[in-house]
Amino acid sequence: MKRLTTSAAGLAAAVLLLAGCGSPGGSGGSGGAVGAPSAGASPVTYGCLTKEQGAKGAVTIPSGVGGVDAYYRDSDAGGARVAIVLSHQNGGSLCDWVPYLDGFTGAGYAVLPFTANGDVATGIESAAGYLKSRGITGLVLIGASKGGTGSLVAAALPGPLPVAAVVSLSGPESFGADNAATAVKRLTVPVLFAVEEHDGTFAADARSLHAAAAPADKQLRIYPGANHGAQVLRDGALPDVQAFLATYAPPRGPTEGLTAAGVKG
């Protein structure tokens, strides 16, 4: 190791360098799943949250694919036991979900949209671990396009928390390494497929996935239009999704009968 010479100028430069290393940067959250921003640090907003929202709920969750940027918000009443994990479409981010969060928190759910920087199912697993540390006891998975595919796959895999229900918005049968066509045959939780009828091949994928899905409690909703992913909520799906969740995944359980695997035992 090289020995450093000490001078007033050198000391000043070293102090400035250390100060810079300690400053928050990039689009990351609070620097850790349970950390808090440094005193005086600017809140992380991801370009779509208010400063108040960012200061209260922006987090970076440790993950096997690097830190996952996320935004946690409790239900409006507080003390939510069931959380909705929201996975975005290809090229999107957690910001895709911000216009719809009030509808879920008002119904009694906590929400956690996240920005996937790798495999969606891995991001969901990391999000579930974080939510468990906050006292959440059950999950709902909602995904748009590739996020829908990843949510269907994640719901059929073991995880830190039981999955109560899953919703796929314009999810294709497969995306990358994720194969929803196989995963839906192993699902044991209620599932809703929602899509717009003129959204390319995605309407056909929704029909095919619905037909192959194993759960008895499965629904298919096809809406007029050609919008994709999270925008399906804006075009009439939000009330149907809320009704589906109220029936099969109420915000305070029950979750006792679910398995953490979410698959047939």
Asked whether the beta carbons of 194 and 228 are under 8 A apart, the reply is no
- Name the domain count of the chain: 1
Full domain range(s) for residue 194: 50-248
CATH number reported for the structural domain that contains residue 132 in this entry: 3.40.50.1820
Could you tell me if residue 96 is inside a domain? Answer: yes
CA angle 75-137-95, nearest 5°?
45
Measured from the Cβ of residue 132, the count of other Cβ atoms closer than 10 Å reads 15
The verdict on residue 25 lying in a domain is no
Pair type for strands 68-71 and 110-115 = antiparallel
Report if residue 38 sits inside a domain.
no
| Burial profile 61-96: b = 16 or more Cβ within 10 angstroms, e = fewer | bebeeebbbbbbbbbeeeebbbbbbbbbbeebbbbb
Tokens of 24: 């928050």
Task: Using the structure block, give the residue that is written with the tokens 């009828």.
Answer: 197
Residues forming beta bridges with residue 66, ordered by sequence position: 64
Residue 4 lies in a domain: no
In a domain, 21, yes or no: no
In a domain, 255, yes or no: no
DSSP type of residue 183: H
In this structure, is residue 120 part of a structural domain?
A: yes
Q: Which segments in the chain show pLDDT lower than 70?
A: 1-40, 65, 253-265
The confidence score (pLDDT) of residue 42 equals: 87
Torsion of CA 229, 118, 172, 104, to 10 degrees: -40
Which residue's structure tokens are 């059950």? Answer: 138
> What pTM value is reported for the model?
0.82
Q: At what angle do helices 120-133 and 146-155 cross, to 10 degrees?
A: 60
13, part of any domain: no
